[in-house]
Chains A and B, each alone.
Chain A
C-alpha cells in the first residue's frame, strides 16, 4: 500500500504528462504481481468492491467526529477520501499491508468483521495511505490521470502501440497477469475473442464552422442525423447478443426484447431510441426505459425501443475497422436490404453544400434529432476521438436569461470555488422559482468573479449551499426545454450552461416563466 499511496500522491501533484508517465512506468516495473494489477484496475476505474461504498466511510468518521464539523470540513476540502483521511487520527505508527493482501482480507472478512478490520487498518496507517485506501472505494480517483494515460504508460512500458492495448483492453482480465507477461516479452499477446468484448467507440468532435469547414469539400463527407437517444454497440454472435453503452457498460438487461430478436455474427454501432417501426420519439420517452433495470413485459409493450444503425466494426468474422467508411456503409446497406427490425439503417442526408446542412440541423422535428453528424468517407473506424474524422454539428442552442439564486462549491479541482449555480425566473405570483443548475461555460477569470459575488452577497446558508442576493442575471444556453412535473417551475432544461454573465442587466428585465414557456414550448 505504501508504494501505491506514494504513487497516487506523486501523481496528483505532478502536472507534466511526461513525468506522470514516468511515475506510472516506474511503478509497473517495480511492483510485483498481482499488486500492480490491483493498481491498474484502480487507476482505470475497474476495481470494484461491492460491500464498501463511500457511505461506509462517512458513517465511520461520524462515529469519531462531530457530524457538523465533518460537514464543514467536507465542504471545504471537496474530496471525501481526503476529508476523512485528514480527520482520522493515527493511533500507532505502521503501514497498511500490500494491496493484494488487503483486498484478499476484505473479501474473506465476514460482514461483522469488516468494520473492525478497516478501523484497525486506518488506525495504523499514515495520512497518505488512508487517503489512497479510501479513494479506492469512493468512485473516481480524481488525481488528474485518465485511463488513457495509464494505458499509454503501459504501452511505453512494453514498447507497443497504444492502439494495440486499446483493442484488447476490454477482453483482459483482472489482475492482468497475461498483459504484463506480454508487455515484458515473457508471453504472447493475450488472445481476445471479438465477440466477447466491448470495442471502444469512435467519437466525434464538435464542429467549429470557421475552422473545420472552410477548406473541407462536401464530397468527402457523408451526413446523418444526430439522433437524440443513447449510443449503443451491438455485439452479436451464435450464442446471443449484448448491448453496451458508450462507456462499455453492458445494458442488455434493460432491453431484453431487443437482444432476444437480434441474430448474426457482427459488431454494430448505432443509436438506441424510443419508438416503434423506425419512428423515433423524444429522449424524454427513452428516459423512462433507461431508469428501469429489469422492465416487465407490460412496461416494454408500453415503451418500445429500436436501434438506428450507422456503422459496423466486425461482420461475419471480418474486422472492418481498417476499411473506409464507404466500404463499411456498403456492408450495412446490403445487410439492411431485408427487414432487420428492431434494427434499422440510419439514413444519410443528401447535401451539396454546407449551408444546406446548416439549415437542416436547426429544423427540429419533435426534437428527435439534435443536429447532424458529418463523417469523412475515407476514414477507418478509430477508437477514441481522432481529429478531423467525425464531427457533430448540434442545433444552435437556445438562450434564456435567469437570476442566480443559490451556489455551491464544486468538487475536486474546483473545491475552493463556488462553481455550481442554481438560477431561476419569476412566475405569475412574482415569486422567483429555480429552473435549472449550471456548472460550466464560464472562464476561470469569470469563475473568480462569480465566486467573489457569492462570498460577498450571501444572505443565507443551508449546509453547503449558499443563498445569494437575487441581483445577478446570467444568460443561460441550453439544448432543449421540456415539461416536467418534478420541478416547481414545471419545466426542465437539457444541458444548461453559462453563455454570458450580465453584470449590468437589471433583474426586472428578465423574462417571466410564462413568457419563457410561451416562446419555447408552444
Chain B
C-alpha cells in the first residue's frame, strides 16, 4: 500500500504534493499560488508548470526541476509517478501514484469540459481519488462559456461609452477569457493589467493566439472607451481601477453563478466561466474513475461526501488549512 496522509505527504518516497511550506521533494500539479510555492528543493512537474513557476518566482525558485510530459512516468523508489492533463490551466496535471498493488490519483484543480486551448482532461482509473471540490454543490452547473462571452459582447455593443473591466486570475483565467473573445471574433485591442502581461506572452509562445494586447497604463487613458481591460480580481476594487471612467465591472468565475454573490462584490456583469469542475463534472469523474475511496480537498466537502456515501463510496474530507473560502473573491 502507498502511504499518503492528509497533508498529501507520501511517506515511502518522502515527497509532498502541492505543499504550502518549503520541502525537500514536491510534486506540483499546477502553477497557481495556492499549489505552487517557491523554496522547495526538488520539484517534479510538467515542463509548462516549471516555466510558469520560474516566471512567477524567478529562475531559482527551486534547487532543481525534473519535468515530465503528460502521459510519461518516472519511477521514484517503488512508486511510479505519471502526470495526466487536468484541463485547468496550461501545464496543469493530475498525479497518478502507482504500484503493482494500488493506484492513487490526485486531481489537483481540474475541469472536464472541452477547452480547446488546453490538452483535454483524461479520466484516470484508480482505487483512491483525491479530488478537489471547489464547486461541490449541486447549484453549480456551468453553461457553455461561449454563451457568457456572447452576453458580454452584446453588452459592449450596447454601451460603447463604457469601459469593461473584467476581473480574472492573472494565470489561466485571464488568458482563457482573451482566447475565448478572439474565438468569438472580437478583434479590438485588449488591455491587460501589468501583472499578467508576462504570462500572456508565455501563453502566446505556446501557440495560444491572444491577438494584440496593450498595457492598461494611463498613457492610453483616452483609448479605453468601449474597450475591454482584463485585470486580476483584487484590482477591481483597488485604487488602480479608479483611473478609468464609466467602468462596468465584470468578473469571470464560477462563483458568479450566485447572483447574491455577484451583488455583494458589486459586479455588474457576472461571467460564469470556471476552470474548475461543476457538480456534474465532479460526480461523473468520481464514478468514471471507479474509485472505492474518495478524499475531498478544499471546497464544499459536505455535499460531495454525502453524495459519495449515498452511492456506497467511502469519502473523507481533507481540510487543507491554507485554502479557505476567502479565496473566493
Give the residue name and chain of the A residue nearest to B136 (CB).
A72
- What per-residue 1/0 map shows which CB atoms of B255-276 lie under 8 Å from chain A? 0011111111011111000000
Of B260, B262, B300, most buried by chain A (CB within 10 Å of CB) is B260
Determine how close the nearest CB of chain B comes to the CB of A485; give it in whole angstroms: 37
- B260 near A86 (CB under 8 angstroms)? no
CB atoms of A13 and B260 under 8 A apart: no
Distance in angstroms from B233 CB to nearest chain A CB is 15
Given A73-B137, A78-B260, A415-B260; A13-B303 close (CB under 8 Å): no
List B contacts of A82 (CB < 8 A). Answer: 258-260
User: In the complex, which of the residues B141, B268, B328 contacts A13, with contact meaning CB atoms closer than 8 Å?
Assistant: B268
Query: Which residues of chain A are within 8 angstroms of B55 by Cβ–Cβ distance?
Result: none
Q: How far is B173's CA from A439's CA once the two chains are assembled, in angstroms? A: 37
Question: Contact check: which of A15, A68, A72 meets B300 at CB < 8 Å?
Answer: A72
Tell me if B300 and A413 are in contact (CB < 8 A).
no
User: Which residues from A are CB-within-8-Å of B268?
Assistant: 13-15
- Minimum distance in angstroms from B58 CB to a CB of chain A: 32
B262, B303, B325: the one contacting A72 at CB < 8 Å is B303
B260 and A413 form a contact (CB under 8 A): yes
- Which of B139, B267, B328 has most chain A Cβ within 10 Å? B139
**B310 / chain A contacts, CB cutoff of 8 Å:** 66
A144 to B267, CA, bound (A): 14
The reply to whether the CB of A116 lies closer than 8 angstroms to some CB of chain B is: no
Report A411-432 CB contacts with B as 1/0, cut-off 8 Å.
0110110000000000000000
Closest chain B residue, CB of each to CB of A144 = B263
Q: Interface residue count for A (Cβ, 8 Å)?
A: 27
> CB-CB < 8 A to A72: which residues of B?
137, 300, 302-303, 306
Given contacts A13-B268, A69-B306, contact A87 B138 (CB under 8 A): yes
* Cβ–Cβ < 8 Å partners of A73 in chain B: 137-139, 303
B137 touches A12 (CB 8 A): no
Q: Answer yes or no: A131 CB below 8 A from chain B CBs.
A: yes
Q: Is the CB of B324 within 8 A of A413?
A: no
A455 beta carbon closer than 8 Å to chain B? yes
Cα(A69)–Cα(B325), bound, Å:
19
Return the chain B residue nearest A128 by Cβ.
Answer: B259
- Contacting pair A12 B307 (CB below 8 A): no
Interface residues of A in 68-114 (CB under 8 A from B): 68-69, 72-73, 76-79, 82-83, 86-87, 89
A9 at the interface (CB under 8 A from B): yes
Chain B's interface size range is: 20 to 34
Q: A1-21 interface mask toward B, CB cutoff 8 Å, 1 = contact, 0 = none? A: 000000001001111000000
Residues in A with CB closer than 8 Å to B302 are 72
Interface of A is mostly: helix
Give B307 Cβ to nearest chain A Cβ, in Å: 7
Complex: how many Å from CA A144 to CA B262? 13
Contact of A13 with B258 at beta-carbon distance under 8 Å, contacts A65-B138, A76-B137, A87-B139 already known: no
A13 touching B262, Cβ below 8 Å = yes
A472 to B270, CA, bound (A): 37
Q: Which residues of B contact A76 (CB under 8 A)?
A: 137, 139, 258, 300
Query: Known contacts A69-B306, A77-B260; is A13 also within 8 Å of B269 by CB?
Result: yes
List the B side residues contacting A9 at CB < 8 Å: 259
Separation in Å of the B163 CB from the closest CB of chain A?
15
Do A13 and B307 touch (CB < 8 A)?
no
Taking a contact as CB atoms under 8 Å apart, the answer to whether A79 and B260 are in contact is: yes
Chain A contacts of B300 at CB under 8 A?
72, 76
A15 to B324, CA, bound (A): 28
Q: How far is the CB of A456 from chain B (nearest CB, A)?
A: 9
- Contact (Cβ within 8 A) A416 B262: no
How near does chain B come to A452, taking the closest CB pair, in angstroms? Answer: 8
Would you call B260 and A412 a contact (CB within 8 A)? Answer: yes
Closest to A79 in B: B260
Question: Which residues from B are CB-within-8-Å of A87?
Answer: 138-139
Among residues of A, the one whose C-beta sits closest to the C-beta of B268 is: A13
| A77-B139 contact given A13-B269, A455-B324, CB 8 Å threshold | yes
Residues of A within 8 A of B261 (CB): 415-416
Q: For residue A142, which residue of chain B has the nearest CB?
A: B260
List B contacts of A86 (CB < 8 A). 139-141, 257-258
| Pairwise interchain contact B257-A15, C-beta atoms closer than 8 A | no
What's the Cα separation between A66 and B266 when bound, in Å? 32
Among residues of B, the one whose C-beta sits closest to the C-beta of A13 is B268
Q: Smallest CB-CB separation from B306: which chain A residue?
A: A68
Q: How far is the CA of A13 from the CA of B258 in the complex (A)?
A: 11
B139 touches A13 (CB 8 A): no
Query: Closest residue to B321 on the A side, CB-wise?
Result: A456
The interface residues of chain A lying within 8 Å CB-to-CB of B325 are: 416, 455
Residues of A near B262 (CB, < 8 A) are 12-13
Question: Measured between alpha carbons, how far is A76 from B307 in the docked complex, in Å?
Answer: 17
Nearest A residue to B258 via CB reads A77
Render B231-273 as a binary contact track against A, CB cut-off 8 A, 1 for contact: 0000000000000000000000000011111111011111000
Q: Whole-angstrom distance from the CB of A43 to the nearest CB of chain B?
A: 17
Contact of B139 among A12, A83, A413, A415 (CB under 8 A): A83
A89 to B267, CA, bound (A): 25
CB distance from A490 to the nearest CB of B (A): 36
Q: Point out the residues of chain A lying under 8 angstroms from B303, CB to CB.
A: 69, 72-73
- Cα A376 to Cα B307 in complex, Å, equals 64
Instruction: Give the distance in Å from the alpha carbon of A365 to the alpha carbon of B302 in the complex.
Output: 53
List, in ascending order, chain A residues with CB within 8 A of B259's CB.
Answer: 9, 12-13, 79, 82, 131
**In the complex, are the beta carbons of A12 and B264 less than 8 A apart?**
no
Give the complex CA separation of A14 and B248 in angstroms. 10
Nearest-Cβ distance from residue B306 to partner chain A, whole angstroms? 6
Q: Specify which of A14, A69, A77 is in contact with B307 (CB 8 Å cutoff).
A: A69
Q: Which residues of chain B in 136-186 are interfacial with respect to chain A, using CB atoms and an 8 Å cutoff? A: 137-141
Minimum distance in angstroms from B303 CB to a CB of chain A: 5
Once the chains are docked, how many angstroms separate the CA of A65 from the CA of B300? 18
Chain A neighbourhood of B270, CB < 8 A: 13
Which chain B residue has the least Cβ–Cβ distance from A68?
Answer: B306
Chain B residue, CB-CB nearest to A84 = B139
In whole angstroms, how far apart are the Cα atoms of A56 and B328 in the complex? Answer: 32
B138 with A13: CB separation less than 8 A: no
Query: CA–CA, A231 to B325, complex, Å?
Result: 44
Do A416 and B264 touch across chains, with their CB atoms under 8 A apart?
yes
B306: chain A residues at CB < 8 Å are 68-69, 72
Chain A, residue nearest B329 (CB): A416
Q: Which residues of chain A have C-beta atoms less than 8 A from B258's C-beta? A: 76-77, 82, 86
In the complex, how many angstroms separate the beta carbon of A208 from the nearest chain B beta carbon? 29
Give the CA-CA distance A76 to B304 in the complex, in Å: 14
Assembled-state Cα–Cα distance A15/B268 (Å):
8
Q: List 20 A-B contacts (CB under 8 A).
A: A12-B262, A13-B259, A13-B262, A13-B263, A13-B269, A15-B266, A66-B310, A68-B306, A69-B137, A69-B303, A69-B307, A72-B302, A76-B300, A82-B258, A82-B260, A86-B140, A86-B257, A87-B139, A412-B260, A415-B261
Excluding A76-B300, A79-B259, A416-B325, 8 further A-B contacts by CB distance (< 8 Å) are: A12-B259, A13-B262, A13-B263, A78-B260, A83-B139, A86-B139, A86-B141, A86-B258
5 closest Cβ pairs, A-B complex: A86-B139, A73-B139, A72-B303, A13-B268, A15-B266
Which A residues contact B (CB, under 8 angstroms)? 9, 12-15, 65-66, 68-69, 72-73, 76-79, 82-83, 86-87, 89, 131, 144, 412-413, 415-416, 455
